A and B are shown apart, each in its own frame.
Chain A
Amino acid sequence: MERCAVVGLGQTKYSKRHEITVDGLVRWAAKNALEDAGLEWKDLDAIVIGKAPDALEGIMMPELSLADALGSIGKPIHRVHTAGSVGASTAISAATLIESGMYDTVLTLGYEKQSDGNATWALGGGRSGSQGAGGSFAPWIRKYIAKSGAPPEVGIKVAVKDRLNALRNPNAHLHLYDIDEKKVKESPMLWDPIHFLESCPSSDGAAAMVLTNEKGAKKAPKKPAWVIAHAKRTEFTQFPGRDTVKPQAGVDCAEALYKKAGITNPRKQIDCAELYVPFSWYEPMWLEGHLIAPENEGWKMTLEGATAIGGDFPVNMSGGVLSSNPIGASGMIRCLEAANQVRGTAGEYQVDGARVALGHAYGGAANYFAMWIVSSEKDPKF
């Protein structure tokens, strides 16, 4: 198997981008990634893109209309769609192109331009009177709180922490300079127990990475992030006895990932993580759901400050999905920011000495999972 290295990272500013076309948005991120990699369009062998439903912008199978903007003329391009996990699934799909030995250099990109459509409508499966994504997840969050005995301020603390982190990230959509626990608590209750300020924004933006093989990594102008392992798992959306708080697919995905990477103690051996947390409570839920914290104890990591920058397991240093959510890009951003950390290029939100980082995304009815682990070392020992 050929090894895959991340050698270029590119992002747009995340916000409502009324001033730019979808073509412009994706080209912006792609160009940034190419420049970071010291490469040009002609150096790309294939392009892999991902985004959430086409109905968000009303553009069907957008690899067709974006063919020119993505520099894919005369090249292979394909498009992944695995609901909210799509950004991470897309990065993994692109990594397999490299690892297969069939392609030398690949551009992978995720985007969404939510201001062009009605995200809550689309996220409700296109039906009228949608309860939105938060409406789907709130009952499971309540179940988690009841089961784990977590105190109510856990979600509020996550919401504040991620927004404070976002202040260090110029690309983040939300820059809430006056954020504090009181403000979160006093914000409208959307879906009990999720307050408005415990929810992700609706963002526009694109994120791109240039992936290459060992030969390409040697020529790269900057330090690469090595892809150590990746995994994807899917389960049915509903069935009797389904654990909706800690879905088996999430557990299986983490187990497969750690096994491939040689990780036996994720909390100790992984230096930091970008987890897909669109609603605050999903931080402790995924810490448990992906075996980083023991069952019913993920919230303790949050309360103890372990997940803050400076803690022993920082989560969402970039501000996370709670601060920027261009859905189709959000999983890609998690993978990208994990690479950013181990390359040591995360600037104000850099975790000192980050060697191994986790990028994660989930989607659908928390039934799709995609994760990868990157490292500054090609073969990190644990």
Chain B
Amino acid sequence: MASRTHGKEDIAIVAVAQTPSYRAFEETEPLLLLTLTNEILKATGLERNDVDFTIAGSCDYLSGLPFAFVSNVDGFGAWPPVYESHLEMDGAWALFEAYVRLQMGDIDTALVAGSGKSSPGRPREIFALQSNPYYLAPLGFDPISLAGMQANALIDSGKATEEDFARVVSRSRRDGLSNPYAQVAKDVSPEALLKEPYYAQPLRKHDLPPISDGASMLLLARGDRARELSDNPVWITGIDHRMESSHPGLRDLTESTSTRIAAEKLGLDGGAFDVAELMVSYSPEEIVLKNALGLTDSVRINPSGGPLCGHPVMATGLARVCEAARLIQRGEAGRALAHASSGGALQQNLLCTLQASAS
């Protein structure tokens, strides 16, 4: 029994594209994807048929239409027929499968997408259906309630205070001001945030992500093909993801054991990154993740503002990879860590390490 976080083949991100995070995008989800497909093809000079493999992440439940993902095919093109797959997960897991697929060494490029429109539905009702269908879902046990429990557990254990949560929000929302994809951004002090009323005690509305529509996409390429397609490919040095129990009572909500396992598999040294783009959907999660990853204060967390500034569900995790890769492309970071999460209170976590050189 063994698993590895890096295969024999060197794989790089050669292009990234994101839509802004919209409160309500008036057009369809395929259109979000089509815009990005065209952007990626233009950036790399590729024709659609030049891409060997395509894999997307999305969720039927957001639009309330079983098989909603089928129409998304219109957004990334499928004529002549394409070699393609789909995960009912955040696009970050599509990235995982694409990375693994490229390790087989017989194909060179993979288009990876994540997309979601939360605006047409009622997220609190929908996301409660992720919990145990017999014991928890009937109670309306949604991720916001769970985030509130996590926040309380952090406070009760002395690991964090409401001031800590406010500081995460203040910094994130301020950083969002310089991110063209951000949906909510503001220069606001922790003190001002703490004056706001509670929403799910001890969380205030700003401790939650906004409701968003959006998509993110990237193109992966293998070895020399990556060097041909980009002057500054961003190399994936490792990827791993891990799951935790679905029963919140069996978990220590102040910890992220799955993140710790993934970090250990990747051999992470928490101080060795310039930047970490973390999927902090609720402000207390940053404290849990920073601790699990052993990130030192020298690591800049979420310069994009993170999901607290825009949370296009199913694209949010892949957007973290896009944001981290863009910083490396621009030479603003040498090594970066990207994180994605799924389920309530960080039940499932994915880590991906990126750097400017292949080894």
Instruction: Give chain A's interface residues, CB within 8 Å of chain B.
Output: 1, 21-22, 42-46, 52-61, 63-68, 72-83, 89, 93, 96-97, 99-105, 122-123, 125-127, 231-237, 239, 247-249, 252-253, 256, 364-365, 367-368
Contact = CB atoms under 8 A, between A and B. Distances in A.
B133 A65 contact: yes
Contacts of A122: 66
A296 B67 CA distance: 31
A68 B247 contact: yes
A76 B84 contact: no
Given A54-B61, A126-B65, 18 more contacts: A1-B105, A55-B61, A59-B133, A60-B61, A63-B243, A68-B247, A76-B240, A78-B97, A80-B87, A81-B88, A89-B85, A93-B97, A101-B103, A234-B82, A234-B83, A235-B80, A235-B81, A249-B78
Contact of A64 (B66, B71, B104, B342): B342
B266 to A, nearest CB: 12
Contacts of A235: 78-82
Interface in B226-269: 240-247, 257-258, 261
A97 B242 contact: no
Contacts of B86: 80-82
Interface stretch (B123-131, B274-282, B291-299, B331-339): B123-131
Interface string B32-66: 00000000000000000000000000011100111
A275 to B, nearest CB: 19
A233 B83 contact: yes
A123 B258 contact: no
A54 B1 contact: no
Nearest to A22: B133
Contacts of A63: 89, 243, 348
Nearest to A370: B85
26 contacts: A21-B134, A55-B61, A58-B133, A59-B130, A60-B61, A61-B88, A64-B342, A65-B130, A75-B243, A76-B243, A78-B89, A80-B85, A93-B85, A102-B3, A102-B6, A103-B4, A125-B65, A125-B67, A231-B83, A232-B85, A234-B73, A234-B83, A235-B82, A236-B78, A247-B81, A365-B70
A231 B104 CA distance: 14
B177 to A, nearest CB: 33
Interface of B: 1-8, 59-61, 64-67, 69-71, 73-74, 78-89, 93, 96-97, 100-101, 103-106, 126-127, 129-134, 137, 240-247, 257-258, 261, 342-344, 347-348
Contacts of B134: 21
A236 B74 contact: yes
Nearest to A239: B79
A252 B130 contact: no
A45 B242 CA distance: 11
The residue among B85, B105, B240 with the most chain A CB atoms within 10 A of its own CB is B85
A156 to B, nearest CB: 30
Given A67-B243, A67-B246, A80-B87, A46 B81 contact: no
Nearest to A117: B66
B66 A56 contact: yes
Most buried by B among A82, A232, A234: A234
Contacts of B88: 54, 61, 79-81
Given A73-B245, A78-B89, A249-B81, A65 B1 contact: no
B74 A78 contact: no
Nearest to B251: A73
Contacts of A54: 59-61, 66, 88, 129
B252 to A, nearest CB: 13
A79 B261 contact: no
B81 A61 contact: no
Q: Which residue, of A53, A76, A126, A247, has the highest number of chain B Cβ atoms within 10 A?
A: A76
A365 B70 CA distance: 9
The CB with the most chain B CB atoms within 10 A, among A46, A73, A75, is that of: A73
A350 B130 CA distance: 41
A59 B70 CA distance: 19
Contacts of B137: 59
Given A64-B246, A65-B132, A100-B100, A53 B60 contact: yes
Q: Which of A45, A236, A248: most chain B Cβ within 10 A? A: A236
Nearest to B2: A104
B87 A79 contact: yes
A100 B103 contact: yes
A96 B67 contact: no
A61 B80 contact: no
A78 B87 contact: yes
A81 B60 CA distance: 10
Nearest to B66: A53
A76 B244 contact: no
B343 A64 contact: yes
A75 B83 contact: no
A253 B83 CA distance: 8
A93 B87 CA distance: 10
A330 to B, nearest CB: 15
4 closest Cβ contacts across the A-B interface?
A: A53-B66, A100-B103, A249-B81, A60-B129
A96 B104 contact: yes
B103 A67 contact: no
Contacts of A82: 85-86
Contact of B129 (A59, A126, A249): A59
A73 B81 contact: no
Contacts of B96: 76, 78
A75 B67 CA distance: 28
Nearest to B84: A234
B8 A60 contact: no
Nearest to A90: B85
B237 to A, nearest CB: 14
B93 A78 contact: yes
Contacts of A232: 83-85
A382 B230 CA distance: 42
A54 B65 CA distance: 10
A79 to B, nearest CB: 5
A219 to B, nearest CB: 11
Contacts of A75: 242-243
B326 to A, nearest CB: 25
A123 B17 CA distance: 33
A130 B2 CA distance: 47
B243 A237 contact: no
